[in-house]
């Protein structure tokens, strides 16, 4: 911010994605005492940002807005390529290079929907941190030689999305049965199994963050709702 307005500002993102991952719909907020109009910030920042980072829109928000804690849900996508080498897509996708059983992956994905303890789908965390999260949608779709894993949830434990994708890949290639999902989600049973592999960060993209019409801190309990996700 110093190069734009002369200020040192803390920029707070809606989601902390892994190094090497991508974002099409990241949201950030910051406080500024400068006289730059809210709708001019996008252009001002784009003039100094690297070419692979762009601000699509800037606007003034209420004082209670927090890009992370006011978010109602986040949509992530993991892309797995099942065909031959493709240097134009492999920067944004993980190439497995062989066919996958998408139907088995869908059956396993259905078991992940709802409120569960996702510790076995996170990085192996030390201590007793809260790893209970709510997922509204876990969809597996195929587009030509690509399998897409789209997940919509309130929030994600560190490494969770990449390990969910790894679990579904293991199911798709016949390494695990879909029924392993229920075991891995059970705090009493999960250590009976090897936890899923963590796929590379390059296949992961934050697609969208939603705040709804009424802002509120979602660290407080809220009911589950059905949400639609965007596909292309």
Catalytic residues: 18
Q: Tell me whether strands 94-95 and 12-13 are parallel, antiparallel or unpaired.
A: unpaired
If residue 223 lies in a helix (H) or strand (E), which one and from where to where?
none
Q: Looking at 61-218, list the stretches that DSSP marks H as alpha helix, in order from N- to C-terminal side.
A: 102-110, 160-172, 180-184
**How far is it, in rounded angstroms, from Cα 107 to Cα 4?**
50
Residue 118: strand, helix, or coil: coil
The three-state (H, E, C) secondary structure of 53-80, written as one string: CCCCCCCCCCCCCCCCCCCCEEEEEEEE
């Amino acid at each position: 911010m110093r190069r734009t307005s002369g200020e040192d500002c803390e920029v707070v993102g809606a989601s902390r994605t892994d190094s090497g991952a991508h974002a099409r719909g990241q949201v950030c907020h910051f406080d500024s005492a400068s006289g730059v109009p809210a709708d001019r910030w996008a252009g001002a920042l784009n003039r100094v940002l690297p070419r692979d980072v762009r601000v699509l829109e800037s606007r003034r928000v209420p004082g209670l807005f927090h890009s992370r804690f006011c978010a109602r849900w986040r949509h992530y996508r993991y892309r797995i390529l099942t065909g031959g080498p493709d240097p134009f897509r492999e920067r944004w996708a993980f190439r497995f290079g062989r066919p996958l059983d998408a139907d088995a992956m869908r059956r396993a994905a259905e078991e992940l929907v709802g409120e569960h303890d996702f510790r076995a789908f996170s990085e192996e965390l030390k201590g007793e941190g809260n790893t209970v999260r709510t997922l509204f949608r876990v969809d597996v779709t195929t587009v030509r030689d690509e399998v897409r894993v789209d997940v919509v949830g309130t929030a994600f434990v560190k490494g969770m999305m990449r390990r969910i994708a790894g679990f579904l890949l293991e199911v798709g290639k016949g390494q695990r049965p879909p029924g392993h999902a229920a075991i891995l989600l059970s705090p009493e049973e999960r250590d009976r199994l090897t936890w899923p592999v963590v796929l590379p960060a390059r296949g992961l993209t934050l697609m969208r963050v939603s705040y709804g019409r009424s802002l509120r801190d979602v660290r407080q309990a809220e009911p589950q709702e059905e949400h639609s996700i965007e596909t292309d």
